């Protein structure tokens, strides 16, 4: 399946209205329910094109959050360097291994098929780790972090946003109760 495009009928007439109405309806039950719905919609949106890559996204979110917790607890700068190296290694493996004659995945017609949006969510997480180390942001709850990284409007096509500009807004502007 191809990813859901923002200008497709499926997105405009079905996915977006369902995602928004579910978010606001569940918001009456509490912020957590609405954010869980948003995360579920974002993950469904990402998995639509190639469900196998959803595991990559989830693994990347989980690994970066675990690393972020260590950094927030005062771990040395070596952990930041390791996190940056891990993120760039992941990006390099999936985006650039074909230049060295060893693509990790092939598409249905033998062509190269890199995970959609891998650059966006990888750089987003790199900026998050750097902002956290520079005390620009506090460590958010896992649900907030996962929603920030997987948020479907910018997951596959950007823009890459600075965590210190977005994460505080999630807390302030999500007045759902």
pLDDT tens figures, 16-58? 999 999 999 999 999 999 999 999 999 999 998 788 889 999 9
Give, in order, the Cα–Cα distances in Å from 146 to each of 43, 133, 142: 10, 19, 6
pLDDT the model gives residue 110:
45
pLDDT the model gives residue 101:
62
User: Of 32-46, 65-79, 126-140, 150-164, which gets the smallest average pLDDT?
Assistant: 150-164
Query: Model confidence over 73-119: pLDDT tens digits?
Result: 988 889 999 999 999 999 988 887 666 665 555 554 345 567 888 99
pLDDT the model gives residue 173:
42
Mean pLDDT computed over 56-68: 96
pLDDT the model gives residue 100:
66
Give Dmax over CA atoms of the chain in angstroms: 53
Residues 131/162, Cβ–Cβ less than 8 Å: yes
Among candidates 136, 122, 156, 125, which has minimal Cα distance to 50? 156
pLDDT the model gives residue 7:
73
Q: Which long-range contacts (CB under 8 A, 24 or more apart) does 36-41 make?
A: 36/143, 38/147, 38/151, 39/143, 39/146, 39/147, 39/150, 41/15, 41/152
pLDDT the model gives residue 109:
39
Question: Can you tell me the distance from the alpha carbon of 13 to that of 15, in angstroms, rounded to the nearest whole number?
Answer: 7
Which residue bears the tokens 């992941």? 90
Greater model confidence, 156 or 58: 58
Torsion of CA 173, 30, 151, 167, to 10 degrees: 40
pLDDT the model gives residue 157:
79
Token output for 107? 């598409």
pLDDT the model gives residue 71:
94
Question: Can you tell me the distance from the alpha carbon of 125 to that of 87, in angstroms, rounded to the nearest whole number?
Answer: 8
């Amino acid at each position: 399946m191809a990813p859901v495009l923002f200008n497709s009928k499926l997105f405009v007439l079905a996915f977006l209205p369902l995602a928004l109405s579910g978010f606001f309806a569940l918001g009456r039950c509490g912020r957590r329910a609405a954010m869980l719905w948003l995360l579920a919609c974002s993950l469904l949106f990402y998995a639509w094109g190639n469900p196998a890559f959803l595991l990559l996204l989830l693994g990347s979110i989980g690994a970066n959050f675990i690393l972020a917790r260590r950094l927030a607890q005062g771990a040395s700068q070596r952990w930041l360097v390791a996190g940056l190296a891990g993120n760039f290694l992941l990006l390099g493996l999936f985006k650039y291994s074909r230049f060295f004659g060893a693509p990790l995945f092939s598409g249905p017609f033998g062509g190269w098929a890199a995970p959609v949006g891998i650059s966006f969510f990888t750089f987003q997480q790199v900026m998050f780790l750097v902002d956290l180390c520079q005390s620009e942001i506090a460590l958010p709850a896992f649900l907030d972090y996962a929603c920030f990284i997987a948020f479907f409007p910018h997951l596959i096509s950007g823009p890459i946003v600075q965590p210190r500009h977005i994460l505080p807004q999630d807390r302030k502007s999500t007045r759902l109760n």
